[in-house]
Structure 1
Amino acid sequence: MQSKNPVFARSEEFNGRAAQTTYSDPSQWQVDLSGGGSPTHTERGTGRMTIDTVVEKTAITLGVLIAAAAVAWLVIGETLSPDREVQDTAVQTAYTLTLVGGLGGFVLSMVNSFKKVVSPALVIAYAALEGLFVGAFSKVVVSFMANGDVSIVFGAVLGTLAAFGGTLAAYKFFDIQVGDRFRKIVVASMFGFVAVSLLDFVLHLFGSSFGFNGFGTMGLISSFIGVVIAVFMLILDFDYVERGVAAGIPERESWRAAFGLTVTLVWLYIEILRILAIFYNND
């Protein structure tokens, strides 16, 4: 089955075009196709992607992202400092890193999504840039909170973990089946959301934003929509990973899976953070 997910669409292995790749029941989480056609369990390090290798690469990618976010947070400094000069410098640094990390991460996300052969180095570079964006954006949001309350960041992290865990549990326990129509709708919705978000960003540069990326009512609506789409994207991610593992695709594709999961998790975090910030400011 050909993938409609832009992250996996360029991969021959994820689309069933790899030489002599035989597809088996997706419930077979780890398979080895070298034994005459009957899938058998295999361990990490045998050259095939497994759940373990996906978890490992995802942990590395998220680890780099978190480290970069922490560095950005510390470098920015105190955005609510009583010293106006220190505060202005910190705020300017936060906005600069948000822009650099956001645009750099977006460019690399496009490169990684449409690159035929996955590059671990580019996946790590993407994670580092997204880490700068996440750390800086979080600092910007906190600067708008009363007394610089950082609890909103922890709330967004917990919300992201809960959404990930809940979606994974629902996917496995309810045996969610992903069909072509569902894929098309979710991916089309994702591209539409990103397009509107970019349009609002460009209009903001000219002072004509309609609030899609803001912290008002429109921003709240767009964030709720973003969370729903991101959760559906997680379901697609789980499905593609499961199919890839069942097909016994090369281990290097674990990096592509890690990249796809990281993109979705960052999206979830940002939208949840915005929702919490909007509710917090309206209390």
Structure 2
Amino acid sequence: MKSNNPVFNRSPEFNGQANAYGNQTYAGNGQTHGGYGQQPVSDPSQWGTGAPGQTGYGQGQVDQGRMTIDSVVQKTAISLGLVIVTALATWILTPEIKDNANLTQSDLNQLIAAVTIGSLGAFALSMVNSFKRSVSPALVLLFCAFEGVALGGLSKLFDAQFGQGVVSGAVIGTFAAFAGTLAAYKFFNIKVTAKFQKFVIAAVFGMIGLSLMELVLGMFGAQIGLFGVSGLGMVTAFAGLILGVFMLIMDFDFVEKGVAAGLPEKESWRAAFAMTVSLVWIYTNLLRILAFFSQD
């Protein structure tokens, strides 16, 4: 089950380095054994229990459970819950802004600081979680916390500037996109091919590259407006929204295959991280789209 997704391809279990149903390879597997009636390898009278501390017969690796749909749902709910809680905390703890005219430079600086710190922390941790071989629940939750800080500040800025239910509309639209994508994946029996995976991953890295280029240009006052609320920004916003839906389809595919293969329960955190990234991606693009259409 080789994966092209950087979130999953660091996992030995997702890449066929475990036997079917996630079982490890034990000593003696694949070796030739004596047939019926042949002399056993050793005399039973010479068998021993082993020295203290050694692994005896039947004392293999401890089974910590298998990944299930329920475990993925639980971990994803925890991850998204943390994003929402930290976003609400950021919204509440930053200066109150009733409208855009009431926005002072000091208030703006605090919100920009929250968005910048949260975005940089979330980006760094997303890279670590994507390429880390063994999934770390603590790092996944830390990513969610940073992501929540960034989304809380960003949402408050959009609410102050555009209002008219832009934030609530983006939240509702995100969960509607999740439900609609899941329904389409199941009812239409969508199959994820290797070419589809390569296209989506290439598009994701392309979008990340464009955003980094825009960030660097912005430092020199030469932004193109690729990720703003403008005509050109809408091109990347709609492309990003479609790409986010494709990312969710890949997430559903990996979860389905992981459950069927009986991966360790800990891998549920990897799936939860991937779906959180996809949903945040969809939310931010919906936020820009709704803001564009709410302008006078």
How far residue 90 of structure 1 moved from its aligned partner, in angstroms, is 2.1
Q: Provide the C-alpha distance between the structure 2 equivalents of 1:271 and 1:110, rounded to a whole number of angstroms.
A: 20
How far residue 52 of structure 1 moved from its aligned partner, in angstroms, is 0.2
| Matching residue of 2:9 | 9
Matched residue type, 1:174: F
SS in 1 for 2:13: coil
Alignment of 1:119 with 2:136, yes or no, is yes
User: Contact 2:99 / 2:161 at 8 angstroms: preserved in 1?
Assistant: no
Of residues 45, 55, 61 in structure 1, which corresponds to 2:79? Answer: 61
User: Contact 1:79 / 1:91 at 8 angstroms: preserved in 2?
Assistant: no
Of residues 251, 255, 261 in structure 2, which corresponds to 1:237? Answer: 251
What TM-score do the two structures reach when normalised by structure 1? Answer: 0.87
Q: How many residues align?
A: 256
Matched residue type, 2:20: T
Match runs of 1:1-283 below 5 Å: 1-18=1-18, 20-22=19-21, 47-80=65-98, 87-145=104-162, 148-149=163-164, 151-281=165-295, 283=296
How far residue 270 of structure 1 moved from its aligned partner, in angstroms, is 0.3
Gaps of 5+ in 2: 23-62
Task: Extract structure 1 runs of 4+ deviating beyond 6 A.
Answer: 81-84
Q: Provide the C-alpha distance between the structure 2 equivalents of 1:234 and 1:141, rounded to a whole number of angstroms.
A: 25
Q: Provide the C-alpha distance between the structure 1 equivalents of 2:187 and 2:101, rounded to a whole number of angstroms.
A: 54
1:150-170 C-alpha deviation (Å, 9 max, x unpaired) = x11110001101111110000
Query: In percent, how many aligned pairs have the same letter?
Result: 51
Q: Provide the C-alpha distance between the structure 2 equivalents of 1:240 and 1:47, rounded to a whole number of angstroms.
A: 18
Greater Rg by CA:
2
Q: Provide the C-alpha distance between the structure 1 equivalents of 2:148 and 2:116, rounded to a whole number of angstroms.
A: 12
SS in 1 for 2:14: coil
User: Contact 1:78 / 1:87 at 8 angstroms: preserved in 2?
Assistant: no
Q: Provide the C-alpha distance between the structure 1 equivalents of 2:285 and 2:176, rounded to a whole number of angstroms.
A: 14
Matched residue type, 1:108: L
* Aligned Cα root-mean-square deviation (Å): 1.7
